[in-house]
Structure 1
């Protein structure tokens, strides 16, 4: 299935990839986890789900196919229609259709399309090259029980005869305890004296500093004139879309990233699919917008596209 490669490429970069007339793949970040049954550590990834309700073409997949194949947009749409038609026919015949590294489709008992995601693919770019790691379990409790059993079998016995054999050890222990107590008391007295001295010196320093601040005079002979910054408000009905995000926080991260690159991006709200859209810039003139779009596609983002919409 050739189109599976295109869908895989887009799932690395986008959270929603729509197959027109069939449905949409949705991805969501998944943190690292441990399977205690198999002692397997799985790296962070993206969980994939499928939404049959999102079928309206948003242009993302078709534009990407056209740019990779070097074909027209209409030719890319024809490929998508053929792909969708063949997929629907195979499912209606009761077959299980596999999409490489993404998952499989089949018709369940309720005669609805069921998607089962693949466990092999990981579309989180931050985890590229990481694979599940199988470790060995640490038998702490078992070792603890073995030590307890050994202690029960070989107890340490101290008889009165052995204690009386070395009577001077008893007096040495008493002397050591006395020396320790006296040293501890002396250390506490020394520590209290140091703390009182430091507190008194701090009060003197604070009082001297307050006096110097009260007597100081600050004079600025040539104050700078106030700086006025005028930020032009973006208007227009032609918008170059940088991306659409299911999570709003990701949209603002994209805005910050584009601002660092010198663009003037902004958030234009949710589209009809509930995705948060971010644009590079808005234009009043269509020709100017198309020229800017061509430049962005060549230098920045091949998947950028032009949205014609009048914003409030």
Structure 2
């Protein structure tokens, strides 16, 4: 399992210009800074506003960062979609370009679907992509998708595709569920990433693979320090400080708050732009955000201007 992507991954923010078009240069700069800060790139996750991006936009942005020299083995693109054909196009592109894995939401429009139906969805994609290098990480975020990835579904998929369905991101916020994923499947080569660094230390202690967290966009080095030092004397202190930063952003609408902070760091006010239906945070909220982060002595060192 040593070739698998592990550690800290960021669901990479997608910068837009004032016309809501992806800002490729800023995207490349952000990805490069994250990689330099020892984070992997879960491009096109929830905090990437992925559901607001077209298939073509995702493919073009992926091509752009690869052409800019971002290592393909740092990538875990989000390739789940309600449409099987969209998911196949995104997944095939990721695998052919050498991504370490793909993070796949279940189809999220229809609710109350069965594990059997979800199994058929993933199975159809696997069979049609037809590439033995494919590595799928299931994305469990039921409070947003409305479609849970159950332990039973994981078992069904692992039984038929043990070398392809190799992990999960658990963004449920329910530690007992993350713990169950790790204890039930972790020893069998299934890599579980909690969706928040708040669970990172606990997860690593029982065999978790790392975390895929929104605030890895802001604090990649600090969160990576937990991953590298979790079993050392400073592990608890590193976790406590990362929790402080997480709570500041988590108390706000996270995507516009994170983007606004990058705008403040860079002076590039287009970083503030979020695609509708999301909206920017107001000035009073910005003032409090900046004050809280200053009190916490937080910064984004070496971020490109």
TM-score range (shorter-chain normalised) is under 0.3
> What is the TM-score of this pair, normalised by structure 1?
0.25
> What is the TM-score of this pair, normalised by structure 2?
0.25
Q: Which has the higher helix share?
A: 2
Q: Computing the radius of gyration over CA atoms, which structure comes out larger, 1 or 2?
A: 1
Structure with more relative contact order (C-alpha pairs < 8 Å, separation 6 or more): 2
Q: Which has the higher strand share?
A: 1
